[in-house]
Structure 1
């Protein structure tokens, strides 16, 4: 009996470990263990993609390749702001201040590639309005805070009726800029989000460009006004939906990013 037992032990494969996890038929009876490690609650994730590390730097690097030395000159500064339309809808934008132009960049922070650039020569800017946002009494969505309205080409004819009632029209000779609703954790990004500092820098550069390259009818430089910036929406259902869901900002929503 002892001899048979010894013979059976000798036939075992020494490379197969003896462990209770490995059953006789592991494919039939083994269930992978589920491990739920604790997450460090002190680690914060940026709510907006634009404020995540290196995202803005990469976007600025990608976009500077589209600048024109002749039309724009040297890039002076870049800013993280938001644009609010005449209907009260918002979207985040990158803004570039160059020697000769002011560029608004609509950048896809999900794909990190597709974009549109909207160029305004600095000497075309004839009016700058700074003040609190103002809405009609019937407006459902009223955003608080200050806005900067930049106007150009004051001799242009007023927009058509269809353009005026189109919340996504680009056939307007002005743009409204507001401060981005997010708060960056990195100090250098927080500096890029200061709307009032951007306003001071923009007006300084516009005045300088008007001196160097004045246009007919703008010899006295831009008109600078301190008054409320009027948003023309009457009831604003589109604005209300846009604001509640923040459709104009790249951020994770319900487990998805858009």
Structure 2
């Protein structure tokens, strides 16, 4: 009996010893895995903020605004121009851009001041900023527009920069917006239109409903429930400090628009950072329109229009 007990004790002791070794091995294995995982987390990953606003990333208005050039905004040397988003295709060249009437010094500033004085009233809310941007229409046509932002609305103004007078304007109230999308301008996969390599912002108030056919196939329709903006071509060619260039910068407008919406307690607008789809599949007319910059006021040989 004592021999059996001794054998049993040896057996139990052996079992305890094996279990201990397994626990040690498991602990060491977990420790090594945790160390490797920690090392992976600690490894710096260089990611362009604009890449995070692609199709795999969708953030609400509670998230901070992802500006593609934000990484250089806090540098000590503030006199240097900001780094432009690397996928931007610079529109036009130095010589061509000089034909734009808005490239002339003081023209844009005077036009904006005239619009502020003549079109904004106290009931429109607190004035927040003004820009000269490129509107991209439903049919993918680029048009030059003055944009005024207040705490209550966005005002889009068609302005004649040759005659220096207002031609038309429309107001979009921030309370009416249900979605704002900030991201790269893209075309459907089956589209034959070349990539834009450009970012934009789209304000929408259609509550997710598809466009009716009478609006979708009418290039002159005034009932399109969204507006899309990109930076004005002058942004890439304007010399001077960042503040002067920001007048032509879509990113600055989108940032202030988001803040204005977030400051409205009753707003149910969602702000997404994702690609903006332009429903253009062949686009021959728009390609010709945009290539000849027909939506901008400029000198064209012996004529100006």
Same fold (TM over 0.5): yes
Deviation at 1:45, TM superposition (A): 8.1
User: CA RMSD of the aligned region, Å?
Assistant: 2.2
SS of corresponding position for 2:180: strand
Q: Which residue of 2 aligns with 1:172?
A: 224
Deviation at 1:166, TM superposition (A): 2.0
Q: What are the Cα deviations for residues 83-105 of structure 1, in whole angstroms up to 9, with x where unaligned?
A: 11122110011111112111111
In the comparison of the two structures, how many residue pairs are matched?
206
Deviation at 1:236, TM superposition (A): 0.6
Supply the distance in 1 between the matched residues of 2:289 and 2:99 (Cα, whole angstroms).
17
Q: Which residue of 1 aligns with 2:162?
A: 110
Supply the distance in 2 between the matched residues of 1:63 and 1:175 (Cα, whole angstroms).
20
| Residue 200 (str. 1) matches residue 255 (str. 2) | yes
| Residue 131 (str. 1) matches residue 156 (str. 2) | no
Q: Which stretch shifts more, 238-247 or 50-59?
A: 50-59
Cα distance change, pair 224–52 in 1 and its aligned pair in 2 (3 A): same
- Identify the structure with the greater helix proportion: 2
Contact 1:83 1:178 in 2 (8 A): yes
Deviation at 1:153, TM superposition (A): 4.8
Q: Which residue of 2 aligns with 1:227?
A: 274
Q: What are the Cα deviations for residues 91-134 of structure 1, in whole angstroms up to 9, with x where unaligned?
A: 01111111211111111111111321111111222211111111
Deviation at 1:44, TM superposition (A): 11
SS of corresponding position for 1:58: helix
Contact 2:154 2:173 in 1 (8 A): yes
The 5 A counterparts of 1:90-109 are 90-109=142-161
Q: Which residue of 1 aligns with 2:238?
A: 184
Q: TM-score, normalised by structure 1?
A: 0.73
Deviation at 1:167, TM superposition (A): 2.6
SS of corresponding position for 1:56: helix
Deviation at 1:242, TM superposition (A): 0.8
